[in-house]
Structure 1
């Protein structure tokens, strides 16, 4: 292990060498940067150097191993850039507390974990008091993306990005020569955008899972045949990383020759970003119904005791819920419903980013966000290019659903969408993401909603007042009295 360098020799440093940190460090070295690496337990540092000590040699980059945090900080050129890749929450706070006394004014601390954006805002203020820059950065793409080119959403100050940006842009995925990396806004903007990205990811995966369930439970296709369907879908407008991955998973068998999907426990876990997305949307008043239902669907899957009790009480024979469909027609209907629902999920996600930016005073370019999601990240998909075009043409776009391209896509698929949701209901197949996305679409386009009755009820039991459609002002009816109406 190279240690005690005579002078600062690293362009950047990274502490936290679990799989993501390890791969990101290797990626940085590969792109010609000298990077100091550190881990609380030196065994991981030693292991990284033993296995990949020559990483970046061809491009002029290198990994510089350090043992103590003091040695690590001393190895980085000023103003120092320190990437933190540790567990979100208390783990991140502990590392920051240890780092701050060793840093100098103008140094930059970059949190590349899945931190809650409110923690990032707090840490930004905390480090500003010490003359330091704190940068919350979303890194998407998993282990493979970290190594070969992720999508990177950088928050923090403009000045910090001047130092950090060129390095991050060099290691990001690239599309048409453009890096999938951008400074999306100050403060907690980077982690906020990454949070919403993960929320869209929840919805995307739930919709894919519901499609699989319908093709198997209603159309009667086996996993290998469904893999062929997804493979075909990936050649069209549904082309995306997750669609291709679904085909790969469904085609896989275990050592005993069983479909892999049949031997995996059907209780999906989550690390919190979906829940944070829903909580934030509630605070902002943004209806992200598809994302919320996808998050609740994961929660339901984990309530195994309740599910077992319900199966005992409400079990039915397969014939009671059998629905006859034309297989080829139904497969195409599911494809159309999946595409329309995905459009709704992305539209809701971008609505939330816009609302969050307005709430916190971040100057977030939604077209740029779509552009950096075109590769490297989990939700990369063909139609993100169309989203970029939509926000480039109309930066203040009210909703993606009203742009000609997406409006046509949804309109063309709406009949199939309705048929799929209705068929699922008759067959007893749960489709919370499909159903809620369709209801959202219908709610948006409806001239009058039953919320008028809700407003009247609120005024009746709580004197919460209401507005009228025929004249301005706020009103209250004396429901317990003479029913007279008064302007408030």
Structure 2
């Protein structure tokens, strides 16, 4: 297989580095031509254009897409559909809506191109040293492909689900769960930071909780690392953006009539953080003043 990674941002470049460390010679393409100044390896051949894929048509192409979900991914898949040949493979690592992934699978199947949707978790560190992957796609799959993807994951971190769209559906739910866990950690540390009884060093507390506690996790490792640098987290503002996956998950839960109150509230909390002065707070203050004469100071 001739492996090409399209999209050499943090995640794509980290996967490229891991493949190179394994001894794999691969191709890479990114819209930013200066990416080659960041990383170079004799086993990474930078393509000047996606059209350069035509030069390797005598072997099976395996294309990894690590692009933003939506327009960039759709446009690239459309472009690849006229470049790739029968039995070539696309692994879509974007955080796409699962129904879009099903559409991509069906459109490319008609051309004989194999499309797989893959949820990728573990962050930049995981992409570099061993990730968690949830692969969705057709049941009839080349074992060599599964073995390659499994080699990029930590032991036990790879699973294949033989239904198109299932990988991105799982990533959608995974990220929703992540939202709820992050919110719970944030609220607990908020209380520890604000309470007046004890003088806690939150770096020490989070380090304590990283070992043997029920809530030890990669997320606890992450916040401990940042608190160790600065307990006030001064470089971070109070705005927290939400990606598409949690929104899709809440919408899916409503359609399936499955209650997801924690995840839904964690999404609403992020949305509220983007407001400089939430109008709803002004409405509440106005009502309190109107019925009870309460003035907000």
Report the TM-score when normalising by structure 2: 0.87
Checking the alignment, whether the CA contact within 8 Å between 2:67 and 2:73 is kept in structure 1 is: yes
Distance 1:263-1:169 versus aligned 2 partners, 3 A rule: closer
TM alignment of 1:21-420, pairs within 5 A: 21-44=12-35, 46-47=36-37, 51-54=39-42, 62-75=43-56, 78-174=59-155, 179-218=156-195, 220-221=197-198, 225-235=201-211, 236-253=213-230, 259-306=231-278, 310=282, 313=285
Checking the alignment, whether the CA contact within 8 Å between 1:121 and 1:188 is kept in structure 2 is: yes
Checking the alignment, whether the CA contact within 8 Å between 1:137 and 1:155 is kept in structure 2 is: yes
Who wins on radius of gyration, i.e. which is larger?
1
Checking the alignment, whether the CA contact within 8 Å between 2:57 and 2:85 is kept in structure 1 is: no
Q: Which runs of 5+ in 2 are unaligned?
A: 287-297
Checking the alignment, whether the CA contact within 8 Å between 2:2 and 2:60 is kept in structure 1 is: no
The aligned length equals: 285
SS at match of 2:34: helix
- Give 1:43 shift: 3.2
- Give 1:115 shift: 0.8
Checking the alignment, whether the CA contact within 8 Å between 1:15 and 1:83 is kept in structure 2 is: yes
Distance 1:158-1:74 versus aligned 2 partners, 3 A rule: farther
Report the TM-score when normalising by structure 1: 0.55
Distance 1:205-1:159 versus aligned 2 partners, 3 A rule: same
- Give 1:262 shift: 4.5
SS at match of 2:278: helix
1:322 matched to which residue of 2?
Answer: none
2:293 matched to which residue of 1?
Answer: none
Distance 1:211-1:107 versus aligned 2 partners, 3 A rule: same
Q: Higher mean Cα deviation, 124-133 or 261-270?
A: 261-270
Checking the alignment, whether the CA contact within 8 Å between 1:14 and 1:36 is kept in structure 2 is: yes
Q: Which runs of 5+ in 1 are unaligned?
A: 1-9, 55-61, 254-258, 315-488
- Give 1:212 shift: 0.8
Task: Output one character per residue of 1:186-221: Cα deviation in whole Å (capped at 9) or x when no partner.
Answer: 100000111111111100000001101122223555
